[in-house]
Chains A and B, each alone.
Chain A
């Protein structure tokens, strides 16, 4: 029975391989084209807030309990889903610039990150994986939407930041 439990339900951490297997990651060539949403929301939560928040109509869901699916071609990576997702499970990743990656993530801790500031990058399991620079911060209903420039190889690892001052 234990073997039927997905590993993320035991650890609270989902792996990139698991996300890919579940079809939650955009293809590599789409990531190279520009910012695109990644919804790390693998469970059937009765919630469709992202669907109504998406200005491009890029998120699909038939029933309220369905796992949200992003139409990678329609998505423009605007980050509205990052701002509104109640599970803080939406991110935007941009691999269009050579050698650099941009990760947009939700942030609800003090102190507030400032644009241009260097921050500590955290992986899904809370490990400090490097330093990044904040390039954009905006807010909706107290959730900060923060875009950080990170080393390219960390684009799929970084999902949170620490601001140390």
Chain B
């Protein structure tokens, strides 16, 4: 293999099953990739750091989120600009070019794009991560027909890149590794003929009359579900510092996608900003992938994540520097180093405390922001709640929002974690099932929802260390009466069912 190949062939936890080799054109030259890789992953693997040059200043840009949420990996693919190459699978003979400035958008629709189909489903679910999958399973096993809409070309969401074993209890997949949970849920869903999965499909909007618009690669779908569950996840938050747009500055999740999903080393020497669970876990995973972790920075006086996750990286000598933050990153077309600084009680940099760190990868792990675009577009009543990462739709404990029969679950309801996303997905689905089913089956669904609600609020979220997220979720939760009042004050323009 060429020396520039960043692919990992041996890993303590993962076995990378690579598909057949295929060839495509990058900037007119033939390059190799493995079937199943995304364009972004395949290019990164062969040492390509710069994916585009920014529109105004012509600054180099490389991948950041790797999950189809940001715009950092835009490239021109087969003549179509602004293609999110991180969720675009490689295909034999495809043409990929770096984007410079703002390329013209072709006004000829791609083949087949004019076809339209009305999709029949009782329930539409947006998002194929832990919450969406859990909701789909809960509905499908009750005989309710489901359309699961996923923008990525595979299911699992962020579970697919989690190599660590999950906390929780046995009946909530605890003890299994994240990617194993994704595999288990996805394969179980495939056994239900009443669950239809639309991959590489984007739910672009909700419309009057209770329609959901979905753009797939081959056609446009319209769905008029009796209920809509949105579990669209979250995206990494950015941090402002000079050089933060340089290739090699990446979201922690972006690095996880590269190394754990595709088996590609994201760098050689990493600096991690943020010591929440994501920052700590990604540091441990970097170590497992053979990447040196120079330090984990934490602006607060204490570590953000669980102690046990911190202990895992400290044992191998990775320093966690509390009261520290990043000041700048430098490099020409890739990170070549960073300056870090200590901060005082008010989080202001302490002059003279700056230090340079030799690194080629800077991972931002300062938090996530719920992806609530569909709720904003549907004009659901939302509230800005910093404890859960930003604006989220107000909802009842049964997870229905002010848009009738539009439910929310998982990180898009406020940032928590995968296990709570699974629980919320199930609660939303059971709330829907109790409305769609009749008699004793409806009653049973309701009972199960209540049981899960009690577990979630009274047991799981009772830990004092989860009090911040719990408080955020409390602030986002209204009573059924309050929801009715909100609907009177802000009459919904769209409703389902």
Contacts and interface: CB of A to CB of B under 8 A. Distances in A.
B167 A47 contact: yes
Contact of B318 (A43, A123, A126, A142): A126
Given A12-B310, A49-B174, A126 B315 contact: yes
Contact of B169 (A10, A44, A47): A47
Given A52-B170, A86-B166, A13 B314 contact: yes
A139 B287 CA distance: 20
Nearest to A63: B459
Question: Looking at chain A, what size class is its interface with the partner chain?
Answer: 35 or more
Contacts of B460: 46, 64-65
Nearest to B460: A46
B12 A86 contact: no
Interface in B155-179: 164-170, 174-177
Contacts of A48: 169, 174
A130 interface: no
B462 A65 contact: yes
Interface string A107-136: 011101000000000111111000000000
A45 interface: yes
A10 B303 contact: yes
Contacts of B174: 47-49, 86
A131 B309 CA distance: 25
Interface in A2-31: 2, 5, 8-14
A53 to B, nearest CB: 7
A10 B275 CA distance: 11
Contacts of B314: 11-13, 124-126
B320 interface: yes
B170 A12 contact: no
B258 to A, nearest CB: 18
Query: Which of A10, A47, A64, A85: most chain B Cβ within 10 A?
Result: A47
B11 A110 contact: yes
Contacts of A87: 167, 306, 308-309, 311-312
Given A86-B164, A88-B312, A126-B318, A49 B175 contact: yes
Contact of B170 (A8, A49, A142): A49
Given A88-B308, A109-B288, A9 B303 contact: yes
Residue from the set A5, A64, A84 with the largest chain B CB neighbour count within 10 Å: A64
B13 interface: yes
Contacts of A41: 308
Interface in A133-165: 141-143, 159-160, 162
25 contacts: A8-B307, A10-B322, A12-B314, A14-B311, A40-B308, A43-B308, A47-B169, A49-B174, A64-B460, A65-B460, A86-B165, A108-B13, A109-B12, A109-B316, A110-B11, A110-B12, A110-B290, A122-B315, A125-B314, A125-B317, A126-B314, A127-B317, A141-B175, A141-B176, A162-B316
Interface of A: 2, 5, 8-14, 40-49, 52-53, 63-65, 84-89, 108-110, 112, 122-127, 141-143, 159-160, 162
Interface of B: 10-13, 164-170, 174-177, 180, 287-288, 290, 301-303, 306-318, 320, 322, 419, 459-466
Given A8-B307, A88-B311, 4 more contacts: A11-B314, A40-B308, A86-B174, A110-B10
